[in-house]
Structure 1
Amino acid sequence: MDTEKKPLRADARRNYERLVEEAKRAFAAHGVEASLEEIARRAGVGIGTLYRHFPTREALVETVLREGYDAQAAVARELLGSSEPVDALKAWFAGMGEQATRYRGLPELMVDVLDDETSPLYASCHAMRDQVSHLVERAKASGELRADVTVHELLVLLHALSWASEHLSGDKSLERLLDLVFTGLRAS
């Protein structure tokens, strides 16, 4: 979805930035299903302005998440230099898990769009996925990670763990769940 866009006028740019900031606040308070009408109202614009900038909810969510996803892709590149490939992969998943649990409802949304090439989130997810795939392949090549594990399976597991840590009480922290999963993912 890399279509070239002309630069926004100053007032349109301010509206865009206010919409993104209000979306961050609304998603933090109410999850990714927060009212788009309320986001527009709090940004001081009409719903039509929101939809001109973000034609779908997923487009708005993608914009809000992009900075974090870009950071996680950079972390994956940095972790490639680690001497412990599986620990590096686990560290990346812990950071990504924090991203995935930042907004209520995000894990469900992410699983829904993992294979939906029409979703605005798809491109962002796959750019990050490309970076983490190098970590996965490195961990497999070291013999520490099961050879039959795919990046897609790991991302589905991550979103399932994120969902579980969001919905379950007790000792179900994401870190604890990741420990359990990575114990099972290690090659024998």
Structure 2
Amino acid sequence: MMIRRAGRDDVPAVLALLDGATEWLVARGQTEQWGTAPHSTSPRRVAQITGFADEDGLWVAQAEADGRVVGALAVGAAMEYLPPATEPELYVRLLVTERASAGQNVGGVLLDHARELARDAGAGLLRVDCFAGGDGALVRYYERQGFTRDVAFAVPRVNEPDWPGQVLAQRL
């Protein structure tokens, strides 16, 4: 697989990855993380992914055999709902992979790319946040990738329970 910087032309492919991940979660009865609606129909989500591309913080993993986008990574500043780090860092703002490529370490390769970007920028810290609800599988995934739990948080939502999150950090 090849990692490359993504542009606006890649936004539909990244949204398709998010839609596929949501479909997979919904099929398993796990609607707490992202709900049930496709990301591609959300103006807020489309604007967010487009913004990642415009800020040069969006990367995609492409299958070498057919050029298909199999994963996406967005890096930059910490998300606005979290306090900034007290030292130079790079923040993983999005990590999503194609469900058909599960077990091929696409996410791990993208996280390795994030580590390389952080080191190149002189940052000694890589952070990410993720959904901490359900059975905690996503938090455990990042721990297997070398991250440690930092701080738990909750994002308030209107007419729904707060969204439980976990910040994880990795020293580089």
Q: Compare CA radii of gyration and give the structure with the larger one.
A: 1
TM-score, normalised on structure 1?
0.29
TM-score, normalised on structure 2?
0.31
Determine which structure has greater relative contact order: mean sequence separation of CA pairs < 8 Å that are 6+ residues apart, divided by chain length: 1
Return the structure number with greater helix share: 1
Return the structure number with greater strand share: 2
